[in-house]
Every structure is written in structure tokens, then in C-alpha cells.
Chains A and B, each alone.
Chain A
């Protein structure tokens, strides 16, 4: 049996997306900037894509800028936003558990003379709201927050936080990294008062190298890539038409039968957590299980269990395994056809330990013993039960071999 449980790293492209992309690449391949009919065909794909995505967010098509993915969207938002608003100040606020594509542009801006404040989180991965509000100053220009954390699946309560921010400082630019959130939640930036939002295509069964940044009309932002002036000058370079078309179709797919899909994902998460709890010596991160689970991993309050799981993202579970190195367990699972991540796949080539796990106060010995299991709506309960059986089988053996 095979179980791909690394969908927060990337997902398989849907058939209809791949088919459409091939058609665009081979038949409707015109450059949107060309004046002839072939160019117009290309341009129409972009227009349609912007309209599809805009409607999923209830925003205007002109507020969508296509990028090469989530990383570029975050870079454009932060660097482009910072330089466009430099006269209003040079202070930016973010959190300690952001993805590297937010964290590293901020470090770059720090080198360039901006001042960055990183706000902490609690053990469930919720931003310390008071600390955030206290950090706001006269010269704060951007506040950047992650919607769903990629390593632990915690959700940032934007509906609660943003009004409080606005109360303190009305005209600060609020950026949300929604790369793990888009497609899992219905997010309406205008209704919850978000100014900029980053999304990636390959997390929602779209192509890699696709993504977009929502920038609210009237919010000032400068380009970070210069050239032929495509996309109103905000993002030069011939548009990646097949990817953009694929991204829009993936967005349309993901929000079709949305309730059913999300319900399925939450059922998967319940099933997985219930089963993984039976594996000895594990800790589940970022789900509040206090008073819900007995010591042998039995769930005693099922109602509360369900409620608390639904306070987290439906597709990510972070589990720490005492006395087992995550990389060894990962490869042992791989041998059984179960594919997961240690930390976040994007950063696991670096030997440095996870910033997110440290931020939520995971014990030091467990930092290098934590795996992330992440699902898609194609995942089945059988796969999850199989993965948990593998864990039952493998962990006692691996626990025997620790460095002494």
C-alpha cells in the first residue's frame, strides 16, 4: 500500500488541470503581449483566470497579480510594500513562526534599514494578540501574519485580530500568507479587512511555479521584478499562461463541492489523530487535547475532541515521537510506502531545527523527533489507518536504537 501524506509540501495536479495546461502550451501558446489573435487568446486565459480567482475571494480581477508561486508573492508583498510606503515609516511586524519566504525577505529588509518586530505565539500556535498590539507604533507600515501554519496546522484568528489592529492603527498594511489556507477555507479579504494576501498553486492541486498576490485597490506597492511592464508593471515578464490557466482551474476545482471536501478532510484528521494516539510515547502538537485524552491514548470526550480539531486546519497534523529521530522514522515509513515530512519539506534540507516548533514551546528533545502528516481530499481513511499501523510496527524497533 502507498500513502502520500505530504500534501502540505505539494499535491498532485488534477487531470483536468494537466489537460488544460497541455492545450495552452501546444495550441493556445500565444504571448499575451502580441497584437495578433494568438496573443489575444493568451490574454483571455489570463483575464479569465483573474476573474475566476477574484470571484473565489470576492475581490476584483485587477487586484490579482500572478507570480511564480507563494515565495514570490510573499517577497513582492513585503519588499514591494515596504519600499512603496517608506515615507510612512520603516517598522514591520510579523511573527516568530512564519515560513522562510516571509522570514527571509524580512531579514533582507532589516539589512536594508527597516526595523522588524517578531511577535510570539502560545503553545497551540496562536499569535499573542496583546504583544502584537503593543508592538504597533506610529511608524509601523506592514503587519504580516500567516493564516495557517505549514508545520503544525494552527489557524490565526484573523476575524478577531484584524479589527483590534485597525482600532489601534487604521492605515497599516495587513498582509496574510494564506498559502496553506487558500482552498481549505473560504477567505474573503475585503470582509476581514486584509490588504495583501499570498497564495500558491501547487498546494491546491495546481501546477508548481504558479501563485498570486492579492493587493487591495489603492494599496501602494512597488514591483520587485522589472522589464516589459506586464501585469500593470507590477510583475514584468511574459505571463506563464499555462500555469496561470492551470492555477485558476485548480482554484475552481477546489471550491467545487467545498463543504463535502472540507468535511472529508476533518474526518480524516479525526481518524488519524484517534489512531495515532494509540502509538506509545507520542505528542500531538497544536491541538488542544487537555482533558480529552486519557493516558493510554483513549479519547474520553469525543464531542470536545471534534470541536477542538475543527479549531485547527483540516489537513495538517504534527506529531512528536519520543526518542526517535524524525529523519530515521521518515525513511522507515518511506520504506513502507508512507511519505511524510520532517519539519516543513521546504526547510528540511537545513540541519537547523524548526522555528515553529521552538516557537510553540515543543520540548528540546522532541524538536528533532517531529513529523508532519498532511492530507488532501484524495486521501482515504484506509491510508491513514495503514500509516498508523506502520507507526505501531516501526516505532518500538527504532526506539531501541538511540545514541548512547
Chain B
């Protein structure tokens, strides 16, 4: 029945002179999302909306799923196309549409008309009134309510006519590519993919860094991170995943530093390395999945010490979220099931049984002095051997 989709956006409507840039970005993202589903589509922007018209057979559910992943889309309206817009045909076809979608349901409605084709003989207000009349005559189960109708039947007349009434909520946010690029510190856990998704939702493209520590972490753990990045990329577009071998740095820290400070010091080196990779890859911010107090390395005091090594802003979109709230988003975006696979990540062997929860920056910095001899070489070596996996 549906042959087209009308996509509404909200926020970019208010962006003034930059508007065309936002619209073009959105159009590109819609095209990209649809390139992954069966069928061919024409995507155009017009009058503050994006219009998608199918040029071949397609699977409705598949298209809706793809469109729901495009940031910047506030709502998706499946549209029926009526080729012949002559009034008598139009009324019958709109009536057929209402019958098909709402059947015998008792509903209140209102017709909203838009006349793109100003040569059409009937002006918009009259289209509303006459179409409403026609529908009331034809169906006993309809009632008009112009203030608070349950259903708004939209009729748009151009060379063809378009009718729609169903409004499906979109992903919201802003189109990708309208807001720069940031580096996500991606682990195999639940939080970091969610964090990446949330920042990408604001129009930010992302790269990701993963710290691999063989033999303490397995290739399956790495594969799990690749799979997570793939899932996030369904929303966030292509991701360059940088895999850093962290084993030697980890062992060196273990050899030299107090064990209750291991995690903090390791995290500081991860941030340093991620920041260097960010700079190399034109990223202007870091993203982590930290949430205050979730683990020892995420207390306020710990965050102070990890933040201290960064000159770039560190975005922590789930900072105030409870675990359950993060899990809900992870389930929604489809990363949860992968995140909970039981392959160990970098942390387990090198986590002290009783880590410091309130580290002082001074004492951490003092401990790091013990690494002076070799750490720069090890970091350089790690940066030299980065493996970059392009996830499309």
C-alpha cells in the first residue's frame, strides 16, 4: 500500500543559515541508511521535510527499521501515493485509505491539506472541508474533532497526491556529520557503546579505540568489540576502530606501581593514547562510558585524576545514569546481547582486589614517576603498532 515516506525533522528547522547544510547531511544519511535495504529509492528535500519515494518493490518493516536509525529524523510518515489527483478519484482513494488503515474503529479525525500545486482548482481550506464531508458521509464510525483529533489525515496535492496519517517516532537528534568527530574509548562492556551512540546522536561522527591485551584478552574479546562497533555504526555511520596492544604497558605498570593504583594509572595511559590517536584522526573530543561511582575508577576523585591527563574535552554522556538506564538504551540499540558475552576484557587480571576509590592526583603522579625509565618508549611502540579496522 505505502509507496513513499515523509520524514519530519525538528531541531534542524531552527538552524537559520546553516539549515541547508543540515538538510543535505540528513538527506545523505537517509540515502546511506536505505542503501543497506532491498529496493531503490529517490530521496529529495522539500519544504522543510525529506521525501522518500520507492522506485521498486521494498520491504516496509525493513525500511522503517533503517529510517528509525537515522539521527535527525523526528518522525516517519508512511505515505500512499495517488497518481491521478482529480478530485473525484482523490476522494475515493483517500476514503479507501482510511478504510484500510482504521477499519471499523470509532475514531475522531481531521483532514489537513496542503496544496503544493497552486494550479489545483480547489484551495486548501476547502479541500479539508470537502474531504471531511466525504469521509463522514462514507463512514459511520468517524467523527470530526478539529481541536484534538485522534487521527490527522494529511492530504498533499502536487503532480500526484499523497495521503498519510500514521506518524512513527524517529531517532531524533541531529544528522551525522553536522558536528565534528570524536574518539570513543570502546571496551567490550555495556556502557561505552551506549556512550558512543548518544554522542553520535548529536550529529557527531565517531572513531573508536580499543585496548587489546593478549594473552590476557582473547581474539574473541576483540571480535566482540568489532561486533559492538558494527552495531553502533548502524546508527553512527562508518567507524574507524583503532586497536592498541596494551599488554606491555599494563605489565610495566604492574611491575612498577602500587597495585591499588593500577587501574587508575592504566586508565590515565589509555586516555593519553586515545587522545594522541584522536589528534591524529582529526577528532576534537574523547567519549567514555563512565558513570559516577559505578566502579572504583569512576568515583569523582578517580575522574579528576583521569581527566588531568586530557587536554581535549572528555564527553561522558552516561555520567548521571544508573546501570539500569544504560542497559535500557543498550537493549534499544541492540548492543546489550553482545556486551554481556562472557569473554574477559582487559581489566580482570590487572585489577587490584582492593583498588583505591579516592585517589589523590599528587600520589598518582608520584607513582607514575616510577615509570619514567621506559614508559615513553612503550607508549610509542603501542602507537606504532595500532591496527585500524574500518567498520562500515
In the complex, are the beta carbons of A401 and B350 less than 8 A apart?
yes
Give the nearest-CB partner of B344 in chain A. Answer: A327
Residues of A within 8 A of B349 (CB): 325, 328, 401-403
Task: Output the least CB separation between B347 and chain A (Å).
Answer: 10
- B167 CB–A CB distance under 8 Å: no
Stretch at the interface among B49-57, B68-76, B141-149, B213-221: B213-221
CA distance A221 to B259 in the complex (A): 60
In the complex, are the beta carbons of A401 and B214 less than 8 A apart?
no
Q: What class of interface size applies to chain B in its complex with A?
A: 10 to 19
Interface hits, B245-263 → A, CB 8 Å: 251, 254-255, 259
Task: Output the least CB separation between B351 and chain A (Å).
Answer: 7
Contact of A331 among B215, B255, B342, B350 (CB under 8 A): B215
CA distance A117 to B215 in the complex (A): 41
Residues of B within 8 A of A328 (CB): 215-216, 349
In the complex, are the beta carbons of A349 and B342 less than 8 A apart?
yes
In the complex, are the beta carbons of A351 and B351 less than 8 A apart?
no
- A329 CB–B CB distance under 8 Å: yes
- A364 CB–B CB distance under 8 Å: no
Residues of A within 8 A of B255 (CB): 400
- B352 CB–A CB distance under 8 Å: yes
Bitwise, A64-78 to B at CB < 8 A (1) or not (0) is: 000000000000000
CA distance A400 to B352 in the complex (A): 14
Of residues A331, A334, A351, which shows the largest number of chain B Cβ atoms within 10 Å of its Cβ? A331
- B17 CB–A CB distance under 8 Å: no
Contact of A329 among B215, B342, B350 (CB under 8 A): B215
CA distance A403 to B214 in the complex (A): 16
- B385 CB–A CB distance under 8 Å: no
In the complex, are the beta carbons of B218 and A335 less than 8 A apart?
no
CA distance A309 to B118 in the complex (A): 95
Task: Output the least CB separation between A332 and chain B (Å).
Answer: 4
CA distance A116 to B342 in the complex (A): 30
CA distance A94 to B219 in the complex (A): 37
Residues of A within 8 A of B217 (CB): 331
For A, the interface residue count at a CB cutoff of 8 angstroms equals 18
CA distance A400 to B217 in the complex (A): 17
- A350 CB–B CB distance under 8 Å: yes
- A404 CB–B CB distance under 8 Å: yes
Residues of A within 8 A of B218 (CB): 327, 331
Bitwise, A340-355 to B at CB < 8 A (1) or not (0) is: 0000000001110000
- B348 CB–A CB distance under 8 Å: yes
- B353 CB–A CB distance under 8 Å: yes
CA distance A402 to B218 in the complex (A): 17
In the complex, are the beta carbons of B251 and A401 less than 8 A apart?
yes
Task: Output the least CB separation between A391 and chain B (Å).
Answer: 13
CA distance A335 to B344 in the complex (A): 17
Residues of A within 8 A of B351 (CB): 403
Q: A interface vs B, CB < 8 Å?
A: 325, 327-332, 334-335, 349-351, 398, 400-404
Known: A327-B344, A331-B216. 4 other contacts (CB 8 A): A330-B215, A335-B215, A401-B350, A403-B353
Selected A-B contacts with CB under 8 Å, 25 pairs: A325-B349, A327-B218, A328-B215, A328-B216, A328-B349, A329-B215, A330-B215, A331-B215, A331-B216, A331-B217, A331-B218, A331-B219, A332-B215, A334-B215, A335-B214, A335-B215, A349-B342, A351-B342, A400-B255, A403-B349, A403-B350, A403-B351, A403-B352, A403-B353, A404-B259
